[in-house]
Amino acid sequence: MLEMLRGKRMLFVGDSLNRGQYVSLVCLLHRAIPESSKSMETFDSLTVFRAKDYNATIEFYWAPFLAESNSDDAVVHRVTDRIVRGTAIEKHAKFWKGADVVVFNTYLWWMTGQKMKILQNSFEDQNKDIKEMETEDAYGMVLNAVAKWVENNMDPKSSRAFFVTMSPTHTQSKDWGDKSDGNCYNQTNPIKDLSYWGPGTSKGLMRVIGEVFSASKVPVGVVNITQLSEYRKDAHTQIYKKQWNPLTPEQIANPKSYADCTHWCLPGLQDTWNELLYAKLFFP
């Protein structure tokens, strides 16, 4: 893969699940590179891994909605009232220009359970003109803007664009027929039911992804990781992750209460996502 990426810039754009896939890929590749020939640096929203002997970079850019939003700070982005600035992607997209391979994702941040707040003017304006939209409509609007950007900025002869579908969560064990009031904590086996589709995964948004990218004038490869990941209730980071805030005694007494059932352990499932991406990228 490094040989195939020689002289190229590969860029992941999206949220923390896309960052997980990015880290997975860097972990899969970096062992083939001597210490002195690789580096990793972060500049605000952009993280860059360099394979110097290959003159290649693999990068991650934080943009959880792809469009401009009030959650764009790469460190401080936990806002309860999420606002997306319509189809405005230029603030982010100027960092995407010139990439040979771009891998987009966006999903988790749209799942608020409410309508999406769409800003019609700019975040700098004193009087913000905000309208509410159904999530599917707003999601389609942003994906269409991304597809248009790909059409205008990527040459299908020399560059490739991909979109990774939504990553499932496993927050309630009753969803898969376990009545113990648990979640992903202490799960050690996948779900065996091949038709399983969790209630947290929106078929409506999945349909929007298919509609937008099948109509794109420049091909955008859809990397469908959703169904295969639905089974993996056992693959989340659970309690084995960096805690940004100290745990309370109540949490320590009840690990289930702070188990992360959204993100994934590495090595793990996201390595498989990258094998699928690799196959689509080099053997289309």
Q: Is 236 a catalytic residue?
A: no
Residue with tokens 């309508």: 115
Find out whether 166 and 107 touch, Cβ atoms under 8 Å. Answer: yes
Query: What burial letters (b/e) apply to 26-55, b meaning 16+ CB within 10 Å?
Result: bebbbeebeeeebeeeeeebebbbbbeebe
> Is-catalytic flag, 170?
no
Question: Which one of the listed residues 30, 73, 260, 271 is annotated catalytic?
Answer: 260
Q: Which amino acid is at 40?
A: M
Catalytic annotation, pick one of 122, 170, 263, 271: 263
Tell me, yes or no, if 260 is annotated catalytic: yes
Question: Both tokens of residue 97?
Answer: 């220009």
What span, in angstroms and rounded, lies between the C-alpha atoms of 261 and 123?
Answer: 32
CA dist 91 to 51, 61, 63, 148, Å? 27, 12, 10, 15
Catalytic option among 16, 45, 159, 202: 16
Q: Which residues are catalytic?
A: 16, 260, 263
